[in-house]
């Protein structure tokens, strides 16, 4: 767990004086004691005007666990032929006890410029030589990506739990599957995938056909389709051969899956703090789920330097299905 916020300092800035204003803030903070500047990467947080936004405290929580220079862009496309404009503010947030403080820098930009102008804006305020991770905070299944910004990132971080339209979300990802995509929702599915892998080790998993599988989901629809995509990629199902995926009548259901029937039937589910799996009439087994905040999950994924092949295979299988 990262240290609690120790202090914040911020000020309005001008586009040409961001670095100078950050230096002023560092001097002010250092008057109260030593503090280290911590930076491992650039974290570009994209928010659109009028959309539900990730709050600043959530962004700080991620930056505390994965120290970065944070660039927050609140963007609105200007109407008509207007040139648009942007305003800036800078801040420093420190964490830790007085004897071991560290701080991260934050640059907030409110932009109404053309989308094509945004990459030069990002390059102006990110630290050169360090990778850029793009954290897309809104539902891009209903409001499209700003492609020039996505193209800047080594990593693309999002949460498909927010998707209102799973098919559109998968299609929006199609141009970006050649890079490191990170879906926090996929991480939530890990305990159930482990439970099914355990069940498969003692059964004829290779014989599982799509018609043998039924998936039932709660409000998190994308979680069910990620599970279906994972199975399709592992079992080589054809695009026209997919399991039943349906919403649950019980509002407390998170995700359940049934495979086969009779003595070989496998039933597994996510239930709060555990994943449960049972085969036939045998007693069920469970896998505990450690509590993890969204900030913990995002920071852990940002630390990773390799692509998640399982997620990419699942997304490609879903794209083959929906695309």
> Is position 109 within any domain?
yes
φ, ψ (nearest 5 deg) of residue 67: -55, 125
- Model confidence at 206, pLDDT cuts 50, 70, 90, reads low
Largest CA distance in the chain: 72
pLDDT at 168: 97
Q: Looking at the structure, tell me whether residues 148 and 195 fall in a common domain.
A: no
Q: Looking at the structure, tell me whether residues 11 and 138 fall in a common domain.
A: yes
Asked if 109 and 121 touch (Cβ cutoff 8 Å), the reply is: yes
Higher pLDDT among residues 133 and 206, named by residue:
133
- Domain residues for 235? 188-288
What would the two tokens of residue 142 be?
């209903």
- In the predicted model, what is the mean pLDDT of residues 53-67? 90
**For residue 1, pLDDT beyond 60:** no
Mean pLDDT of the chain: 89
Q: Looking at the structure, tell me whether residues 16 and 136 fall in a common domain.
A: yes
Give just the sign of the alpha carbon dihedral 279, 213, 244, 229: positive
> Is position 72 within any domain?
yes
Helices (H), the chain: 18-30, 56-65, 118-125, 147-150, 166-173, 184-188, 190-200, 221-235, 294-303, 309-322
> Is position 77 within any domain?
yes
> Is position 146 within any domain?
yes
Report the DSSP pairing between strands 244-247 and 213-217: parallel
Q: Looking at the structure, tell me whether residues 213 and 116 fall in a common domain.
A: no
pLDDT digits (tens, 9 = 90+) for 87-100: 999 999 999 988 88
Q: Looking at the structure, tell me whether residues 139 and 19 fall in a common domain.
A: yes
pLDDT at 195: 86
- Model confidence at 81, pLDDT cuts 50, 70, 90, reads low
Distance CA 196, CA 13 (A): 53
CATH number of the domain that residue 197 is part of: 3.30.360
Could you give the angle at the alpha carbon of 97 between the alpha carbons of 93 and 103, nearest 5°?
25
> Is position 135 within any domain?
yes
Q: Looking at the structure, tell me whether residues 216 and 87 fall in a common domain.
A: no
Report the number of distinct structural domains present in the chain: 2
Q: What does 202-248 look like in DSSP terms, one character per residue?
A: TTTGGG--GGGEEEEE-S-HHHHHHHHHHHHHHHT--TT---EEEE-
Q: Looking at the structure, tell me whether residues 46 and 149 fall in a common domain.
A: yes
- In the predicted model, what is the mean pLDDT of residues 110-125? 90
Report the DSSP pairing between strands 155-158 and 180-183: parallel
DSSP state of 275: E
What would the two tokens of residue 60 be?
């700080």
Q: Looking at the structure, tell me whether residues 193 and 64 fall in a common domain.
A: no
Q: Looking at the structure, tell me whether residues 112 and 250 fall in a common domain.
A: no
> Is position 266 within any domain?
yes
| DSSP-assigned beta bridge partners for residue 300 | none
φ, ψ (nearest 5 deg) of residue 66: -130, 80
Cα distances (angstroms) measured from residue 17 to each of 20, 28, 89: 5, 17, 10
Identify which of 84-93, 111-120, 181-190 has the greatest average pLDDT. Answer: 181-190
Distance CA 211, CA 255 (A): 18
**For residue 263, pLDDT beyond 80:** no
**For residue 251, pLDDT beyond 90:** no
> Is position 79 within any domain?
yes
Of 20-34, 49-63, 101-115, 151-165, the least confident: 49-63
Q: Looking at the structure, tell me whether residues 201 and 261 fall in a common domain.
A: yes
Distance CA 232, CA 287 (A): 23
Radius of gyration of the CA atoms of the chain, in A: 22
> Is position 116 within any domain?
yes
pLDDT at 273: 76
- E strand or H helix at 166, and its extent? helix 166-173
Q: Looking at the structure, tell me whether residues 129 and 195 fall in a common domain.
A: no
Report the percent of the chain where pLDDT is more than 70: 94
- In the predicted model, what is the mean pLDDT of residues 41-56? 83
Give just the sign of the alpha carbon dihedral 138, 169, 70, 151: negative
Report the DSSP pairing between strands 132-136 and 86-95: unpaired
- Model confidence at 79, pLDDT cuts 50, 70, 90, reads confident
pLDDT at 205: 52
DSSP state of 189: T
Q: Looking at the structure, tell me whether residues 97 and 212 fall in a common domain.
A: no
């Amino acid at each position: 767990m990262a240290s609690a916020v120790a202090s914040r300092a911020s000020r309005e800035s001008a586009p040409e004086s961001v670095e100078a204003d950050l230096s002023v803030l560092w001097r002010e903070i250092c008057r109260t004691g030593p503090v280290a500047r911590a930076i491992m990467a650039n974290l570009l947080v994209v928010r659109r005007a009028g959309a539900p936004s990730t709050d600043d405290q959530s962004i700080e929580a991620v930056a505390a666990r994965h120290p970065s220079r944070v660039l927050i862009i609140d963007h609105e496309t200007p109407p008509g032929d207007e040139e648009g404009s942007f305003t800036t503010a800078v801040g420093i947030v420190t964490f830790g006890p007085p004897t071991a403080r560290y701080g991260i820098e934050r640059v907030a930009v409110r932009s109404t410029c053309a989308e094509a102008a945004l990459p030069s804006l990002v390059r102006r305020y990110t630290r050169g030589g360090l990778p850029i991770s793009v954290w897309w905070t809104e539902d891009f299944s209903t409001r499209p990506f700003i492609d020039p910004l996505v193209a800047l990132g080594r990593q693309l971080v999002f949460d498909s739990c927010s998707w209102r339209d799973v098919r559109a979300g998968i299609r929006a990802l199609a141009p970006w599957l050649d890079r490191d995509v990170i879906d926090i929702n996929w991480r939530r599915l890990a305990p159930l995938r482990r439970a099914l892998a355990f069940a498969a080790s003692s059964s004829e998993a290779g014989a599982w056909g799509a018609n043998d599988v039924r998936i039932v989901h709660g409000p998190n629809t994308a979680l069910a389709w990620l599970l279906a995509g994972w199975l399709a990629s592992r079992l080589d199902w054809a695009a026209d051969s997919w399991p039943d995926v349906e919403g649950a009548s019980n509002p407390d259901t998170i995700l359940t899956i049934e495979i086969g029937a009779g003595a070989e039937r496998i039933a597994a589910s996510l239930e709060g703090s555990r994943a449960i799996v049972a085969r036939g009439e045998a007693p069920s087994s469970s896998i505990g789920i450690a509590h993890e905040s969204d900030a913990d999950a995002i920071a852990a994924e940002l630390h990773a330097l390799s692509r998640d092949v399982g997620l990419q295979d699942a997304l490609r299988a879903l794209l083959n299905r929906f695309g």
